[in-house]
Amino acid sequence: MDRQGVCRRNVTSSNQNLKLGLIGAGPWGRNFIHTIKEMDGVGLTRLASANPESASLVDGDCEITTDWLEVAIAADLDGVIVATPPFTHAEIATRAVLAGNPVLVEKPLTLDPGEARELLNITEAEGGFVLVDHIHLFSSAWEVLKREAEALGPVCAIVSEAGRWGPFREDAGVLWDWGPHDVAMCCDLLGRPPETVQAVVSESRQTPEGLGETLKLEADFGRGVSAGIVLSNLLDGHRRYFRAYFNDCALVYDDTSPEKLVRHPLLEGSKDKLGPGEPLPVNDEMQMNRLIRTFGDAIREGSRDSASLRLGVSVVEILTRAQQTLDN
């Protein structure tokens, strides 16, 4: 029992695979399954899924149940991954934390800021650990961008765009589906949340698959720094770029390009027009691998670092403020 009174299980020894449980085997859950299969040091021991085809996705020694609570509170696990619809995240993560299981939860952390703050309070009170899957923050290119940014001086402005055709979800619209990534990247780079945020719908139309929208967010981070973010599920191709502008250059993160990170000089007399770029070397390890490795390292170290969870809470609060401007 630790100093906060929480009974901690013994973590699997360092020469054995960590035993992970997964709740949810939808598209992102299947990404976890495939990635864990290919990685050393981790293994999928339990899966909670209502999908009858789940047995074909996992190894035969992985125990499958339709009851998520069995996995969340399982005493034989080293950690639990939550890849379910966002409105379920708070309850599932809370039960896992209270059972003493470290948690990796898909973004957004929740759809409700009150639930997010309660999860944070419980996790810190229990001495638990929750890692939020803002996947781009685990990119090698993002790591290099942040290091380069420290040397280049203060960020002057941010421009980003993200989206593709779909998905068209009833439980989480464009703002909550695509927005967590860009908002998390802005806050992570600048080290603070925006003072104000405003969202407007620039396009809205019904498609055979559901409602499609293009949103424009304007976030004022104070100190003369603003971020313009475009989110859409109506694009013909996949876009994911993030531009951070400095006094005389810009760093461009583009997850859809072979050159993930490029430094561009600003054209003379311009604050936003880019000159020829110089690709920066980055590690080609997949983001999902780095995410799971980070989770595994935190488990083995017995981490109680709440930075990722606190960022997740902040992202939910910011998106809620943006949603309110759309609703008004």
Mean pLDDT by 10 residues, the chain (328 residues): 43 81 96 96 97 90 97 98 97 98 98 98 98 98 98 96 94 94 98 98 96 97 98 97 97 97 95 95 96 98 98 98 95
Token representation of residue 285: 């390890």
Q: How many other CB atoms sit within 10 Å of the CB of residue 93?
A: 31
Residue 310, helix vs strand vs coil: helix
pLDDT given for residue 254 in this prediction:
98
Of 326, 67, 56, 13, the closest CA to residue 197 belongs to 326
pLDDT given for residue 13 in this prediction:
63
Contacts of 56 (CB under 8 A, 6+ apart): none
pLDDT given for residue 318 in this prediction:
98
d(CA 313, CA 7): 26
Complete domains list, the chain, with CATH: 18-134+289-305 (3.40.50.720), 140-281 (3.30.360.10)
Reported as a single tens digit per residue, the pLDDT across 171-207 is: 889 999 999 999 999 999 999 999 999 999 999 999 9
Residue 16, phi-psi category: left (phi > 0), alpha (psi -120 to 50), beta (remainder): beta
- The H or E element spanning position 58 is none
pTM: 0.94
pLDDT given for residue 14 in this prediction:
65
d(CA 251, CA 273): 12
